[in-house]
Amino acid sequence: MRPKRSTLEWGLEAIALLAVLGQVYLLVANWHRLPTQPTRLRFPGAPEPWDMRTALGIMGALGVIGYLGMAIATHYEKLIKIPEQLDRAAPHMRQMVFSMGIMLKAVLMMVSLYLTWVLVNLAQGHFVGLGRRYITAMVLLVLVPFGIYTVKLLRH
């Protein structure tokens, strides 16, 4: 039997989906404003860098692929490696792995959306960012769930 999603997990799924859709929308809405000439910030003799459209197109593709990959990994639990000492078939272990995958997907999509937003604005000549507090919050959003799930794993 597959693990069931809680209200929090449905909310995290919605956040992840909205983040990846926001990333795609951000790229599509600003595509015509992105410069087509390569950026000239390079060392002498270095190869010509990519233009921002190519770089952001790759960033958008990686965001969509990351979302789909995490969705598949949480659906097919055998794709996620867990230590052999833990009972993979135990219902609480399956639920924890499922929850952790959903949490990780939401965090990764939020980080991907933020990076795309910053790069789109930077390509248009606007220096934006949410500052140190946001970066600190994003680091904590990644580390705190891992800490929580590590403690849960050590208990079992």
Model confidence pLDDT, tens digit, residues 76-87: 766 666 666 767
Q: Could you tell me if residue 29 is inside a domain?
A: yes
Could you report the per-residue pLDDT of 136-151, keeping only the tens digit for each?
877 777 787 778 777 7
Q: How far apart are CA 44 and CA 2, in angstroms?
A: 56
- Per the model's pLDDT, the better-predicted residue between 123 and 106 turns out to be 106
Q: Could you tell me if residue 2 is inside a domain?
A: no
- The helix/strand/coil state of 156 is coil
Domain boundaries, position 52: 7-155
Query: What φ, ψ does residue 57 adopt, rounded to 5°?
Result: -65, -40
Could you report the per-residue pLDDT of 18-77, keeping only the tens digit for each?
999 999 999 999 998 887 766 555 555 555 566 788 888 999 999 999 999 988 888 776
Overall number of domains in the chain: 1
Q: Could you tell me if residue 53 is inside a domain?
A: yes
Q: How far apart are CA 58 and CA 49, in angstroms?
A: 14
Cβ contact 71:20 at 8 Å: no
Q: Average pLDDT for residues 3-18, to the nearest whole number?
A: 88
Q: Could you tell me if residue 19 is inside a domain?
A: yes
pLDDT(98) > 90: no
Q: Could you tell me if residue 17 is inside a domain?
A: yes
pLDDT(1) > 70: no
- Per the model's pLDDT, the better-predicted residue between 30 and 124 turns out to be 30
Q: How far apart are CA 47 and CA 83, in angstroms?
A: 44
Q: Could you tell me if residue 1 is inside a domain?
A: no
To 5 degrees, how large is the angle CA 53–CA 44–CA 60?
15
Residue type, 122: L
Residue 90 host element (H or E):
none
